[in-house]
Structure 1
Amino acid sequence: MPGPIQSLERAAAILRLLAGGERRFGLSEVATTLGLAKGTAHGILRTLHQEGFVEQDPKSGKYQLGAELLRLSSSYLDVHELRARALVWADDLARGTGESVRIGVLHKGGVLVIHHVFRPDDSRQVLEIGAMLPLHSTAWGKVLLAFDPAARAELDETDAVAFTARTITDAAAMDAQSVTVRERGWAGDVEESVLGLAGIAAPIRDRRGTPVGAVGISGAVERIVADGAPRPALVAAVRDAARAVSRDLGASFPY
C-alpha cells in the first residue's frame, strides 16, 4: 500500500497552522514552526496561494487562509445541513406518495444525490446516494437550471445527451422550459432519462432565499403521470416537502 505523500502532508500542516492562529504568519514563522526549509515552505505557500487556499497580505507579506478554502468548507457544511434538515421530510414524502425520494445538489455539471429514500414497498431497489443525475433531463436538474444561474453555466460547458426520444437538448428549448419551471415552482420529467420512468421535483432554498438543492420523487410513468402530465396531488406533495425543508433551513415566504 503506498505511503502518504510528503508534500501534501506539509501543505495540510501549513493549512492547520494558519487555521489555528489568531494572526497572519510570515514565511519564516511557518518554516520555523513546522521545521521546514524556507524554500520548501515558500514553494508550498506559493502553490496554495495560486489555488486560492491562502492569501498573502500585500504590505506585510504574511499569510492567512484564503477564500477558496473557506468556500469549500461552507459548501461542505451546507450540504450536510441540507441533508440533516431534510431527513424527516423526505421520509414523509416517500410514505405519503408511495414513491422513492431523492435530494440533489449541483455538482460538476450534474445533480449529486445526497439523500435517497426507497419506495416504501418490498421491491428490490438500489441506494443512489452519491449518484449523478443529468441536469437537462431530470426533474431535479431542471429545477436547478431554472433557479440556479450556476447550473445553466455548467450545462453550457457540456454536451446535452439525448437519452430517449423525449430528451430536450436544444438550448433555446431548455431556456423556455426553465421559464415555465420558475413560473409554476416545480419541474417534471416524463421518460426523458429512462423509458418508463417519470419524476417531479421542487427547489429547496436557504435563509437567504438562495436555491441550494432540489427534492423530488420518481417512479413508473403510470403512477406519476395522468392525462399526459404529473398528477396534481403528487406535485402538491413534492412542493410541500420542498417548502418544509426550506423553512427548516431558515427560508421565509414569499422568497
Structure 2
Amino acid sequence: MPRNIQSLERAAAMLRLLAGGERRLGLSDIASALGLAKATAHGILRTLQHEGFVEQDPASGRYQLGAELLRLGTTYLDVHELRARALVWTDDLARSGGEAVYLGVLHQQGVLVVHHVFRPDDSRQVLEVGAMQPLHSTALGKVLAAYDPVAHSELVEAEREPFTARTPTELDDVERAVEATRAQGYATDVEETWDGVAAVAAPVFDRRRLAVGAVGITGAVERVCEGGEVRPELVAAVRDCARSVSRDLGSGPF
C-alpha cells in the first residue's frame, strides 16, 4: 500500500484545525494541538499562506483560513449544482438545435468544459468534459469575460494565441467582442478557434445574479451559420437554455 505524504497530511490537519473551534489560532496553539515542533508548523503555515489557503492577522499574528480555500470550496459546490441544474436543459438544447452542447466555467485563465452533450446523430464523437478552451476566441470564453470581472482580468493578462486567420489577438479587438457580447446578451465564434467550426453561447447566472458559467452550441459552420452569421433560431435556443438554467439556480428574470 502506498505511503501517504506526511507534509500533506500535516497541512490537511492544520486546515481542519483552523476550520473548527476558535476563529484564529496562534503558532503555539497550532503546533501544540497537532504535536508538531514550532519550526515545522511555521514552515507549513508559511507555505499555506503563500498559496492563499491561510491568512495571518497582522495585529495579533494569529492564523485563519484564507480566501483562496473558501473560494475553491464555493467553486466546487457551484460547479456541481450548475451541472445538476443544466442536465435536462442542455439535453433539450442538443435535441432541438441538432448540435453538440457545452457548459463551461472559468478555470486558470481559460474555460473548463464541465458538461458536454453529444450532437444527436450517429457520428463518432469524443467526450470533452475536462477539456480547456481559450477565453479570447471561443463563444463560451467571451461570455465569461463579458459577465465575470475575474474572467475579464484573466482575458486581459493571458496570452492570446492565434488559432486561425480569424482569431482576435489584439486587446482592442478582444475588448470590442466583449462589449458586443454584453450589449447583445450572447457571444459567437465563427472559425475563430477552429477552422470550419462555429459556436454561440450565453451566460448562466445564479441566485446572486453572478455569472457562474456559460452554455453554448458548437457545430460545423455550414449547419450553424447562414450568410456568415449564426442562425437566429440557434441564438434564441441557446439564450432560452441559459435562462432556464439560471432560473433553476435561483436567478430572477432577465
Q: TM-score, normalised by structure 1?
A: 0.92
Q: Say if 2:13 is the partner of 1:13.
A: yes
RMSD of aligned alpha carbons: 1.8
Specify whether residues 16 and 167 from structure 1 end up closer, same or farther in structure 2 by C-alpha distance, changes over 3 A only: same
1:66 maps to 2:66: yes
Distance verdict in 2 for CA 1:160–1:50, change over 3 Å: closer
- Matching residue's letter, 2:223: R
Give the letter for the 2:89 counterpart: W
Query: Does 1:209 find its partner at 2:200?
Result: no
Aligned residue pairs total 254
Alignment of structure 1 residues 30-69 onto 2, 5 Å: 30-58=30-58, 60-69=60-69
Distance in 1 between the 2:63 and 2:238 partners? 47
Aligned to 2:179: 179
* Other structure's SS at 1:208 match: coil
User: Using the alignment, how far apart are the partners of 2:78 and 2:140 within structure 1?
Assistant: 18
Which residue number in structure 1 is paired with residue 241 of structure 2?
241
The 10-residue stretch of structure 1 (108-117 or 155-164) with the greater mean CA deviation from structure 2: 155-164
Shift of 1:160: 1.6
Q: Which residue of 2 aligns with 1:198?
A: 198
The answer as to 2:105 corresponding to 1:105 is: yes
1:52 match: secondary structure: coil
- Flag as ranges the 4+ runs of structure 1 deviating above 6 A: none
Residue aligning to 2:115: 115
| Matching residue of 1:131 | 131
1:140 and 1:3 map into 2 onto residues whose CA distance is: 41
Q: CA deviation at 1:239?
A: 0.2
Residue range with higher mean Cα deviation, 166-175 or 110-119: 166-175
* Residues 15/200 of structure 1: CA separation in 2 closer, same or farther (3 Å cut): same
Matches of 2:64 and 2:160, distance apart in 1: 41
Distance in 2, Cα, partners of 1:78 & 1:132 = 18
Structure 2 counterpart SS, 1:64: strand
Provide the C-alpha distance between the structure 2 equivalents of 1:168 and 1:57, rounded to a whole number of angstroms: 44
- Give a deviation string over 1:127-161, Cα, whole Å, max 9, x none: 00010111121111111222222223212223322
Deviation at 1:46, TM superposition (A): 3.0
In the alignment, which residue of structure 2 is the partner of 1:223?
A: 223
- Displacement of 1:78: 1.3
Residue equivalent to 1:159:
159
Amino acid at match of 2:127: L
C-alpha spacing 1:122/1:155, structure 2 compared with 1 (3 Å): same
| Residues 42 and 91 (structure 1), Cα distance of their counterparts in 2 relative to 1, 3 Å cut | same
Q: How much has 1:2 moved relative to structure 2?
A: 6.6
State the AA in 1 paired with 2:87.
L
Once the two structures are superposed, residues 219-242 of structure 1 have per-residue CA deviations (whole angstroms, 9 ceiling, x without a partner) of: 111111112211111111000000
TM-score, scaled to structure 2 = 0.92
